[in-house]
Amino acid sequence: MTVKWMSVLLLLQMSCYFRSGSCGKVLVWPMDFSHWMNIKTILDELVQRGHEVTVLKTSASIFLDPSKSPGLKFESFSTSIGKDHLDKAFTRLVNVWIHELPRDLCLSFSPLLQNVADELSDSYLRLCRDTVSNKQLMTKLQGSKFDVLFSDAIAPCGELIAELLQIPFLYSLRFTPGYTMEKYSGKFLVPPSYVPMILSGLGGQMTFMERVKNMMCMLYFDFWFQTFNEKKWSQFYSETLGRPTTLTETIGKAEMWLIRSYWDLEFPRPTLPNVDYVGGLHCKPAKPLPQEMEDFVQTSGEHGVVVFSLGSMVSHISEDKANAIAWALAQIPQKVFWRYDGMKPDTLGPNTRIFKWIPQNDLLGQQEIS
């Protein structure tokens, strides 16, 4: 990291502590759904500390709502990708992931999953192409003299915009399948001899055959990354920048990686100086629960409560899977809050309540959850 970029990041970290100094100007290339919820926590804190934060909002954005983000500036522009197109692409990916795949994804070759993931990647490539080819937008961004770009690494393009604007950039990330991006671009050390590949279904204590499986998982995800992502994105980045480059090389220029997890929840492995674990930043003080939920919690007794959700992108699941989940939840002694927007499963137990929406932060913040 050069002295110049270290100075920029130090400026942001000091957070305008000395009010006589200049605050930073931050440009953001965001990701939708829960990714936006996590990164917005950091952006709100930057605004509170005096920085100027501008979020790039495409016409395909789903969750980004300026009316719910006071203090943030939004630079909105149109693209050839429609909101419905991107939403459906995400939904297809999640549905295939949930309905088609077992726990050990890396040993379950799924052409359907690869096709859907490839389709989503192509959509983001079009989105990125529309963004960087928008001369009016790029000229405006160039003239704004941003200090740094903040991006979610799961959605490529932020690093390309930063290269075009000649500013440093940093990432927010939970993980990529098989740690491929972290490994090849971020230079994270992930020895397959003792670090289980993410999505492999393996634990920290591996037998010899499980280590062999872990190596196969690593090779599988590496092949997938190189085949379905690296080539087309690298060609596009080279054409845009006017010089030979690769997606891996461009991503590798990130100054910092903020990993949305706790270090003590990860498997032990070496960590680089520009990597910081920031799990839990989105947690807030708990607010009182709605009366119906509070009454249900009070019946939990010594066993406590379980909160079960498949995330913000899953709106429904098949009847068979819903019944299987309901049956499994009925076997445990805890009271269960299940975020589910479908028909009531026949196997739903008396210990389980279904809600279309759950104030998860309030539940977890007030109760001792199993």
CB atoms under 10 Å from CB of 271, counted, come to: 15
Share of the chain above pLDDT 90, in %: 43
**Which pLDDT does position 137 carry in this prediction?**
96
Q: What is the mean pLDDT of residues 150-161?
A: 93
**Contact status, residue 176 vs residue 164, Cβ threshold 8 Å:** no
Q: Judge whether residue 136 has pLDDT over 80.
A: yes
Query: 118 in helix, strand or coil?
Result: helix
Residue 59 in this model has a pLDDT that exceeds 80: yes
Domains of the chain: 3-277 (3.40.50.2000), 291-366 (3.40.50.2000)
5 pLDDT more than 50: no
Q: What are residue 171's phi and psi, to 5 degrees?
A: -115, 150
Can you read off the two tokens belonging to residue 187?
């230079």
DSSP state of 1: -
More confident residue, 264 or 27: 27
Backbone CA torsion sign across 91, 182, 54, 134: negative
What average pLDDT does the chain have?
84
- pLDDT of 22 over the 70 cut: no
pLDDT of residue 359: 86
pLDDT of residue 287: 86
pTM of the model: 0.79
Least confident segment among 90-104, 164-178, 219-233: 90-104
Q: Are 163 and 250 in contact (CB under 8 A)?
A: yes
Inter-helix orientation angle 158-165/231-241, to 10°: 20
Q: Across residues 297-319, what is the average pLDDT?
A: 81
Those residues whose C-beta lies under 8 Å from the C-beta of residue 3, and which sit 6 or more positions away, are none
pLDDT in tens, 117-129: 788 888 889 999 9
Q: Which two tokens stand for residue 170?
A: 């940093």
pLDDT tens profile 265-295: 888 888 899 999 988 887 778 888 889 898 8
Q: Specify the pLDDT at position 313.
A: 62
Report, in angstroms and rounded to the nearest whole number, the Rg of the chain calculated over CA atoms: 22
64-73, 158-167, 331-340, 345-354, range with the lowest pLDDT: 64-73
DSSP string, 3-29: HHHHHHHHHHHHTT-STTSPPPEEEEE
Question: What is the C-alpha to C-alpha distance for residues 57 and 43, in angstroms, rounded to an integer?
Answer: 14
The C-alpha torsion from 111 through 112 and 117 to 121, rounded to 10°, is 80
Confidence of residue 64 (pLDDT cuts 50, 70, 90): confident
